[in-house]
A = this chain, B = another copy of it.
Amino acid sequence: MLLSKACVYGIRASLFLAARDAKGYISIRQMGEKLDISPHFLTKILQQLTEDGLLESYKGPNGGVRLTRSGEEITIMEIVKAIDGDKLLTECALGLPGCGVQKPCPIHEKWADAREGIRKMLEGTTLKEMAKKGKDLDLRLTADGGFDID
């Protein structure tokens, strides 16, 4: 699999946040229910995004999490890096120790090309853009198969 489940959950939750019109905090429990992700697990995942500065959290009643920056400025790449790291974009596809530019493995170059495609996709896609498309076309995000946020 390209992305870990934790990473996918993180993306979906971030997308959910970007799609919300409301600016305030929303609780992770609520999000978990909407997205059909265990709230406890989601808490763990979003903690990483908070540590990385992508989200900010607030405790107590009416607390929760929200995006620190506008959805236009946040790419999926940032979320992937925060959760899965950047091994997807740096590591050799055959995982040979020490494979690099000096002494590459036989598919190093071809894989580098394919990887660039992935990088472009991740870097070239903002949360807002995805959220807008999702809302306009009523695409699939939440557990019920729709894009209803509120």
Is there contact, CB below 8 Å, between B8 and A139?
no
**Please, which residues of chain B bring their CB within 8 A of the CB of A96?**
12, 140-141
Write the residues of chain A forming the contact surface with B, with a CB cutoff of 8 angstroms.
Answer: 1-3, 5, 8, 11-12, 15, 76, 87-88, 91, 93-96, 98-99, 103-108, 110-111, 113-114, 116-118, 120-121, 124-125, 130-131, 133-134, 139-141, 145
Q: In the complex the two chains form, what is the Cα distance from A93 to B91 in whole Å? A: 19
Roughly how many angstroms separate A76 CA and B134 CA in the complex, as a whole number? 35
Contacts of A121 in B (CB 8 A): 107, 110-111, 113-114
Chain multiplicity (copies): 2
7 residue pairs bridging A and B, Cβ less than 8 Å apart? A1-B1, A1-B95, A99-B140, A106-B133, A106-B141, A114-B117, A117-B117
Residues in chain B near residue A133, CB distance under 8 A: 106
Q: A105-B139, A116-B117 are in contact. List 4 more A-B contacts (CB 8 A).
A: A8-B94, A8-B95, A99-B140, A107-B121
From A94, which residue of chain B is reached at the shortest CB distance? B8
CB-CB nearest in chain B for A91: B1
Expressed in whole angstroms, the minimum distance between the Cβ of A125 and any Cβ of chain B is 6
Closest Cβ of chain B: how far from A18's Cβ, in Å? 10
Cα A62 to Cα B95 with chains together (Å): 31
A98: chain B residues at CB < 8 Å are: 140, 145
Known: A106-B139, A130-B106. A88 touches B125 (CB 8 A): no
By beta carbon, the residue of chain B nearest A131 is B106
